[in-house]
Amino acid sequence: MAEVDKDKLYQFLLRMGDNTLILGHRVSEWCGHSPVLEEDIALANTALDLIGQTQMWLGYAGEVQGEGKSADDLAFLRDAWDFRNVLLVELPNGDFGRTMMRQFLYDAWSSIMLGHLQKSTDERIAAIAAKASKEAAYHVERSSGTVVGLGDGTEESHNRMQAALDYLWPYVGEMFASDEIDLAMAAAGIAPDPANLRDEYDALVGRVLDEATLAIPAGNYVHKGGRDGRMHTEHLGHLLCEMQWLQRAYPGCEW
């Protein structure tokens, strides 16, 4: 592995692990409340995979950081400004259509990203990606199927899916923003420059949305601020209140 700045590597791992942590949390909010029993099962399964990936990413992040922190320490004891997930995953679930559209937009990115990460010069990252990309392939197959089914369903389901896409699309661009951390990862062969993944992503997403009879909205404004921690949404703080409450209220316990 090429020499790389430890702090930059740490930040990169937080970006990966915080995405899966926060999205896993959001998806798990559906447990017992979804439209049909098969979806309860599928959503729980997706959340479970994402939490499993979080344990791997944040576990490694803690090691790289070198302060003796566990994945749990990082998940439950950081404040909002230290989180590095994209804004897309912290947005509230909305209706089932919005949840599934967000899942698809994320899964498409994640399946492509993890595919590249399997070739990482960092063996640990390559190993995590190898395991996670099997799950991501299944997730994107499932979420794209749902997006097509609901987009090309009834008039109501079509309208709801289009509304979901209109709402979420401005958050997609952040997954492809690159900064000096990404450039350092790319230079060391650890991870691809996200900007270079955009064509592959647009092809995949375009094909599925086309089949779903949905139109990508015209505007090209991009909401950013999550993956560099500059400015999260108001929603993240509430999510953390819930997620971190026990660890914060009863510090130092074993659970």
Partner 1 sequence: MYAQMVKTASNRVKTREEMSPEEQHFQDKIDNDVKIEPKDWMPEDYRRTLIRQIGQHAHSEVVGQLPEGNWITRAPTLERKAILLAKVQDEAGHGLYLYSAAETLGVSRDELIELLHEGKMKYSSIFNYPTLNWADIGAVGWLVDGAAIINQVALQRTSYGPYSRAMIRICKEESFHARQGYSAIMKMAFGTPEQKKMAQDAVNRLWFPALMMFGPSDKDSVHSEQSMAWKIKVKTNDELRQQFVDQTVPQIDYLGLERPDPTIKWNEERGHYDFAMPDWDEFFNVIKGNGPCNADRMENRRKAWEDGAWVREGLLEHARKKAARKVAAE
Residues contributing to the site for partner 1 (CB under 8 A): 21, 25, 28-29, 31-41, 44-45, 47-48, 51-52, 54-55, 58, 71-72, 75-76, 95-97, 146, 148-150, 152-154, 156-158, 160, 242-243, 245-247, 250, 252-255
Roughly how many angstroms between the first and final C-alpha of the chain, as a whole number? 37
Q: How far is the CB of 58 from partner 1 (least distance, A)?
A: 8
Q: How far is the CB of 196 from partner 1 (least distance, A)?
A: 31
Closest to 75 (Cα-Cα) out of 89, 93, 63, 61: 61
Nearer to partner 1, 221 or 250 (CB): 250
Nearer to partner 1, 150 or 185 (CB): 150
Asked whether the CA dihedral 138, 141, 144, 145 is positive or negative, the reply is negative
Q: How far is the CB of 84 from partner 1 (least distance, A)?
A: 17
Contact 196, 133 (CB under 8 A): no
Q: How far is the CB of 122 from partner 1 (least distance, A)?
A: 22
Nearer to partner 1, 51 or 186 (CB): 51
Nearer to partner 1, 55 or 121 (CB): 55
Nearer to partner 1, 135 or 174 (CB): 135
Q: How far is the CB of 96 from partner 1 (least distance, A)?
A: 5
For 67-91, letters b (16+ CB in 10 Å) and e give eebebeebbbebebeebbbbbbbbb
DSSP code at position 215: -
The angle that helices 123-151 and 96-117 make with each other, rounded to 10 degrees, is: 150
Contact 123, 192 (CB under 8 A): no
